[in-house]
A and B are shown apart, each in its own frame.
Chain A
């Protein structure tokens, strides 16, 4: 379980307009690139330093590579991070106001309390 790294992916992509577009257009390629090049970047630290141990589990990589926000919810990704990034990528494809957000809720409708643990 590398819930922290899934959150780190969502967090770093969401704050970069160029990455948002790259992730929208080529999710599998972008996730592979990010894991290889960025997963071990220490945020808020000197740029020359990096971690050495961070990698996705297969199911996490696959959920990210398929834009599967339902599976991300199930895996305990932080719901706010997932929602914010996916709104940035897909709200534009819906004509009705909040259309994407409402579909997002419908696709999660089979979850009941307690929701998957989000603690990291």
Chain B
């Protein structure tokens, strides 16, 4: 059976690429700490020696649109072109092309459907910064095949938070039952408190530091029950109007397991959001 080599949950900050590639003398004051922490975080994936990456993210109205909006979608393609014109324009992100792992995509689609998730699929998917940011931070050589999994955290009506957790649990069960000798890392990115296009955007820190503190605690301790007891689709508006992206962290808590403490945790306070990085090594992974 395949080995779940690592489970990684992270925020995805589209300005990391620009910040880390500009000449050192032009970098903003927070850059050095940020780059140091991302470099340490990267090592947690490297030491897991993965062969394939399952990447959980959310399209930001790039390819997926309101005329045909899936709730959960798995890409199944030999390649994924990546990043869009408006991400180059606003964030300075590079165009990329990532290899796909079609066999694992097909397996997750078939088994996921049979496990009760009516998954959408795409055979021609251009992925955006929710997937390329963690490639840039965690695997900048972009040499491993991926399976992209997109969730709808963006266009109401959204699936319930518990559904994200359930999907995470199912992804883990399926990967551990995959008849393969490959090492699989699951990497998912979302947000802590975040406001975009609203009155609380681009403040000196995230819009709700108290939510961030609680969220980091839930994730780091694997407190799915505590998290689900407080987080609802309605409650997520309060910490910031883009905070539904936290549900991708909840999905990753489902992958990591109930009550399982993260083996690695770090945070960085940035000007409009808190960055947070978590890695779990399943016991049998031998990382």
B30 at the interface (CB under 8 A from A): no
Residue pair B85, A17 in contact (C-beta under 8 Å)? yes
Complex CA–CA separation, A104 to B200 (angstroms):
10
Residue pair B89, A80 in contact (C-beta under 8 Å)? no
**Which residues of B sit under 8 angstroms from A4, Cβ to Cβ?**
66
Number of interchain pairs (Cβ within 8 Å): 79
Given the known inter-chain contacts A11-B61, A44-B67, please indicate yes or no for A83 contacting B197, CB distance below 8 A.
yes
How many residues of chain A have a CB within 8 Å of chain B?
Answer: 36
Residue pair A84, B199 in contact (C-beta under 8 Å)? no
* Contact stretch, chosen from B35-43, B172-180, B236-244, B275-283: B236-244
**Which residues of B sit under 8 angstroms from A43, Cβ to Cβ?**
65, 67
Residue pair A101, B202 in contact (C-beta under 8 Å)? yes
Complex CA–CA separation, A87 to B86 (angstroms):
10
B99 at the interface (CB under 8 A from A): no
B89-110 interface mask toward A, CB cutoff 8 Å, 1 = contact, 0 = none? 1100000000000000000000
**Which residues of A sit under 8 angstroms from B60, Cβ to Cβ?**
80
Out of A15, A106, A113, A120, which one reaches B155, CB within 8 Å? Answer: A120
A59-94 interface mask toward B, CB cutoff 8 Å, 1 = contact, 0 = none? 000000000000001000011111110011000000
- Interface residues of chain A, those whose CB is within 8 Å of chain B, are 4, 7-8, 11, 14-15, 17, 42-44, 73, 78-84, 87-88, 98, 101-102, 104-106, 108-111, 113-115, 118-120
- Interface residues of chain B, those whose CB is within 8 Å of chain A, are 60-62, 65-68, 84-86, 89-90, 154-157, 196-203, 237-238, 241-242, 271
Beyond contacts A15-B85, A80-B242, A108-B198: 15 other A-B pairs, Cβ-Cβ < 8 A, are A11-B65, A14-B86, A15-B62, A15-B84, A42-B67, A73-B197, A79-B198, A79-B241, A84-B86, A88-B86, A101-B201, A109-B199, A113-B238, A114-B237, A119-B157
Counting from the closest, the 5 A-B pairs by CB-CB distance are A79-B197, A83-B197, A108-B199, A119-B156, A101-B202
